[in-house]
Structure 1
Amino acid sequence: MSKVLNSDVELLPPCGGQEKAYSILLTPQAIRFVADMVLEFNSKVDQILRERKQRKLEVDATNARPDFRTDTLHIQQGSWTVDPVPKCLVNRHVDLGDVSPANIEHFTTSLQSSAQGIQTDFDDGHCPTWRTQIGGLYNVYRAVHNQIPGVPSIEHAPILMLRPRAWNMEEPNMMVNGVVVPGPLFDFALLMYHNAKILLDKGCGPFFYLSKIEGYREARLWDKIFTWAEVKLGLPLGCVKATVLIENVLAAFEMHEILYELRKHSAGLNCGLWDYSASFVNKFGHRPDFVLPDRHKYVNMERHFLKSYLALTIKTCHQRGCTATGGMSALLLPSKKGLEYNAAVEKACRAKLSEIKAGVDGFMVYDIGLLQPMQQLWAKFAPSPNQLAILRSDVNVQAKDLLLMPSGGVTLSGLKTNIAVGILFIDSWLIGRGHFPHSGSVEDSATAEISRSQVWQWIRHGTCLEDSKRPVTRRLVIDLIQAFLADNKPTSSSDSHRRLRVSANIFLELVTRKDFPEFITTYMNSNISFRAANHLDFANLTPVSSNL
């Protein structure tokens, strides 16, 4: 077993056909860089995760409601601002979201598009098998090194907004000193090591999205990681810029503090509708006063708790001199233009126009066909590069505004859709795919998260259906799962049908557990069916070569 700065490192060998990518990415020097980062920060990541658990235990024990901090008033009331961003980040009007670089066709088309940026995703829209991790990292490398045919040089392409995995995810295919490597450290280290200098020289990076941060201490850790990487690679301090996704209710109470911790590295904040909504179930789902109604009918950005959260994000960011961006339109346009196509575009534009009028500086779409209509929307209603001048002095959001659950119940249609999305997401992961189309929208881990969270919560509280007054029970959910399986028998192969049944069983286990599993992605990453389907096996880990 080889040593990397007095550490033992083991790696899974490459998947078939990925030997070239593996040899380019995982050089002895790159492995050393990853291992050094892990040695420096792994214990701090563990501490963050322990603090999350402790905070959750305290909330459960006391039934306390979160509030704005009183020990950081000097930060909340101070006159500081974040450092200026490079010119290429001044205009954040329309990014493409959920672009997994492991899908080379989608990634290539995105690089050829007119988007301002690409959420280059190793998180919500990506499934982290060993094959997709190596493939995705290699495709980013190829894009930055101008090796993808038909794609412009990286300085002329949309900005890469690289999104590593969140803190809850591990990379089971690499171990340092017998401990599995945190997924975000693996992703960030290799993205920085192979691409940061070129992106900096070209004036278009290195830039990141940070997922699922729950408070300012987690932002502080990322800031330390950024600084460490900049020093190690000989880069200017502060050259890394990151947009934090506020997709957890606890983080919404610490936005000033999060920006303050990242003030040398900040590219603003982003609103994530479904992960944010699911976090209410995650943190308070056992309480009847936090039952979230049917998301399809009653949960949208016009609801008071979400409208307040968006307004507070805009006000906070603009006060601190950085951009506030809205969430992603997951709409998929019809394949042919016509009345239905035009109606879909109009619907998407209408929803995003309300965000523009609220003062956001940009947002994301999934469908590339929405880029032009959205950019025309910006040109018509807010033609300047950003809306930082809109300070939203009218906004005075209190804790009660962020915690007010919308009224409404549960529809049978909404329950069926949540079940379908949850099962199909798991099924998608079992074939190594992070997102999938369903009923005219793209679904990913964020929508799977809210879907399975709601079903768990409705069973837990026996929430009644609006039409029949029948309570949501385990028996009802089983019946609806069986009906879903009967209606969705794959015709291609018996293997597909068996996989769908396995997915349904995993979903049922998720929504009927006594304790709420915190993240569906963490649950799946350790699930034996997922590991078997994607050849993830600790027994196959081998020491890296001894020439390190």
Structure 2
Amino acid sequence: MPQGVQIHARVQGAQSDILSEPALAFLVALHRTFNPTRLALLDARDVVQQRLDGGEQLDFPSETAHIRADPSWVCAPPAPGLEDRRVEITGPTDRKMVINALNSGAKAFMADFEDSNSPSFQNMLNGQVNLRDAIRRQIDFEQGGKQYKLTEKPATLIVRPRGWHLDEPRITVDHQPMSGSIFDFALYFFHNAKELIARGSGPYFYLPKMEHYREARLWNDIFNFSQAYLGIPLGTIRATVLIETLPAAFHMEEILFELRHHSSGLNCGRWDYIFSFIKKRRLDKTAVLPDRKDVTMESGFMDAYVRLLIQTCHKRRVAAMGGMSAQIPIKGDAKANEVAMAKVRADKLREVTAGHDGTWIAHPLINKIAMDVFNEHMLGPNQYHVRREEVVVTPKDLLNSSVPGKITHDGVKSNASAALAYCAAWISGNGCIPLNFLMEDAATAEIARVQLWQWVYHKARLDTGHPITASYVEGVLREVASNVKSLVAGVQDKQIAIAVEYMISQVKADRASDFLTSDLMPYLEALDGGKWIKSSL
């Protein structure tokens, strides 16, 4: 054990290989070098939020105007396996999911340690074991008489670590929790980078929830440090940044510039983006949005951000990735399934005709639908030639909150149900749930949570004229709580009760919390085998 390290949860079996002494030494080196910068950047987020609460409006940063105006710089060319990304499947890192996703026929699989994952320590370590085994083609297993085995040509593997705001409290260094981002990145990189290179691929990442180009600079510094640490060429790492916060939409070119030697593009993280739009403008009454179902990609602020992202990426010669359709196949109802799949087709058609170079899916059975649309309309490996030079997006466009729709009782009830079901599932160790034939993860649950708060705080009214008060929403939450068990397998009464009280506290709060995942993290301790286990102190 490196000096100063403590492990506060049970480590068993193959997990011990992941937390080996050399791997922990790498974690410690990264933590001591970069965590102070991370904490300072998180403090800077709070300063920006205070300014927004005071009425200041977001704008493109003036100090980097020269970067945006300079046409000469472009990002690194696509790395092996990332030349054609027309369909990518996403999902958590449990063993069966990893095999099914890699075998799905999609071009890439984003293995998710973040929004579709509940970060119990067992989930985090087992996920690392599963990815290590998949890369070495040692992941095959049998369950219920069925064989799970990788195909000869699986999808390219891309890993999403947790965002900068999340700690890893089960590992402390010098009595300080590690960054969840550094923990997830470092273990995957340390154990697999050289093996991936030897197999003709590389260590590829999706980077979530950044809010400023300086946060991208921190990632780039970590990449350079890590490549030098393992003695692999600089620029081997590739990273796609999810533009899923409102501030990041004003920093797209700067984010690419900071990561230009490691960049593989930007992604429209649509659900988190809606969540961030509400949260960042929390005191702005003009930013109150209608029912979640009415906030579509055709909404003014969403359309502007998509157009700007495609233009920015293609100007700098990297992929502009589309987002996730939440629909999943509906078994036993052919008519309803066709309606749902028609929505998927329309969404993917919108993306490819707008100029996106690829899209996301959440279920293997949707791969063919998405692939057919992109195959028909994107004949080459990408659409970098679609420059969208006619696009002009202003700050006003990115802040355009004019969205047709109403706030309805059904909308309140739907948000209450989604938030409760997801929170209860999350603290039971499940970070991705099918709900009413939609795939719900932390991002969609966050929209539900902050919308309920927003409507109460700004004294919004239903389409019937009924005021949306904290007591009214509390009544809806308690009403729908009785249905959670029937909606989500495996949740217990205690977890539902925690979710109910948490959501009631949120709608009554003066300010909604930044992230439910931060709020609920202490409840995962019960799943992690107890407190302090091993220490080098």
Give the shorter-chain TM-score range: over 0.9
Q: Pick from 323, 327, 339: which aligns with 1:327?
A: 323
- 1:68 maps to 60
- Larger deviation: 157-166 or 331-340? 331-340
Q: Pick from 114, 131, 141: which aligns with 1:123?
A: 114
- Larger deviation: 302-311 or 106-115? 106-115
For 1:220-231, list aligned pairs within 5 A.
Answer: 220-231=217-228
User: Could you tell me how far apart the structure 1 residues matched to 2:172 and 2:407 are?
Assistant: 45
Aligned partner letter, 1:127: S
- 1:172 maps to 169
Q: Does 2:259 correspond to 1:262?
A: yes
Q: Does 2:107 correspond to 1:139?
A: no
For 1:51-450, list aligned pairs within 5 A.
Answer: 51-61=44-54, 63-79=55-71, 80-97=73-90, 99-101=91-93, 103-149=94-140, 150-152=148-150, 156-296=153-293, 298-336=294-332, 338-407=334-403, 408-450=405-447
Partner deviation per Cα, 1:138-187 (whole Å, 9 max, x = no partner): 1011111211115437x831011100000111111101011011101111
Cα displacement (A) at 1:433: 0.7
- 1:24 maps to 17
Partner deviation per Cα, 1:267-309 (whole Å, 9 max, x = no partner): 000001111111122211112111122121x201011110110
- Checking the alignment, whether the CA contact within 8 Å between 1:490 and 1:497 is kept in structure 2 is no
Cα displacement (A) at 1:409: 2.8
- Checking the alignment, whether the CA contact within 8 Å between 1:14 and 1:22 is kept in structure 2 is no
Partner deviation per Cα, 1:364-387 (whole Å, 9 max, x = no partner): 010110101111111112221111
Report the 3-state secondary structure (helix = DSSP H, G, I; strand = E; otherwise coil) of the residue aligned with 1:89.
coil
Report the 3-state secondary structure (helix = DSSP H, G, I; strand = E; otherwise coil) of the residue aligned with 1:218.
helix
Cα displacement (A) at 1:92: 0.9
Q: Pick from 38, 42, 52: which aligns with 1:45?
A: 38
Cα displacement (A) at 1:35: 0.9
Cα displacement (A) at 1:110: 0.9
Shift of the 377–522 alpha-carbon distance from structure 1 to 2, 3 Å rule, reads same
Shift of the 47–492 alpha-carbon distance from structure 1 to 2, 3 Å rule, reads closer
Cα displacement (A) at 1:515: 2.0
- 1:505 maps to 501
User: Could you tell me how far apart the structure 2 residues matched to 1:286 and 1:189 are?
Assistant: 38
- Checking the alignment, whether the CA contact within 8 Å between 2:162 and 2:181 is kept in structure 1 is yes
Where in structure 1 are there 5+ consecutive unaligned residues?
Answer: none
Cα displacement (A) at 1:336: 4.4
- Checking the alignment, whether the CA contact within 8 Å between 2:216 and 2:258 is kept in structure 1 is yes
Q: CA-atom RMSD, angstroms?
A: 1.9
- 2:516 maps to 520
Partner deviation per Cα, 1:496-530 (whole Å, 9 max, x = no partner): 2232122111111122211221111111114xxx1
Where in structure 2 are there 5+ consecutive unaligned residues?
Answer: 141-147
User: Could you tell me how far apart the structure 2 residues matched to 1:485 and 1:42 are?
Assistant: 40
User: Could you tell me how far apart the structure 2 residues matched to 1:251 and 1:173 are?
Assistant: 30
User: Could you tell me how far apart the structure 1 residues matched to 2:499 and 2:362 are?
Assistant: 25
Report the 3-state secondary structure (helix = DSSP H, G, I; strand = E; otherwise coil) of the residue aligned with 1:363.
strand
- Checking the alignment, whether the CA contact within 8 Å between 1:412 and 1:465 is kept in structure 2 is yes
User: Could you tell me how far apart the structure 1 residues matched to 2:333 and 2:483 are?
Assistant: 29
User: Could you tell me how far apart the structure 2 residues matched to 1:325 and 1:169 are?
Assistant: 25
The TM-score normalised by the length of structure 2 is 0.95
- Checking the alignment, whether the CA contact within 8 Å between 2:8 and 2:171 is kept in structure 1 is yes
Partner deviation per Cα, 1:427-447 (whole Å, 9 max, x = no partner): 011210101010111100000
- Larger deviation: 471-480 or 104-113? 104-113
- Checking the alignment, whether the CA contact within 8 Å between 1:456 and 1:511 is kept in structure 2 is yes
Q: Does 2:460 correspond to 1:469?
A: no
User: Could you tell me how far apart the structure 2 residues matched to 1:282 and 1:365 are?
Assistant: 26
Report the 3-state secondary structure (helix = DSSP H, G, I; strand = E; otherwise coil) of the residue aligned with 1:126.
coil
Cα displacement (A) at 1:93: 0.5
The TM-score normalised by the length of structure 1 is 0.93
Report the 3-state secondary structure (helix = DSSP H, G, I; strand = E; otherwise coil) of the residue aligned with 2:190.
helix
How many residue pairs match? The answer is: 528
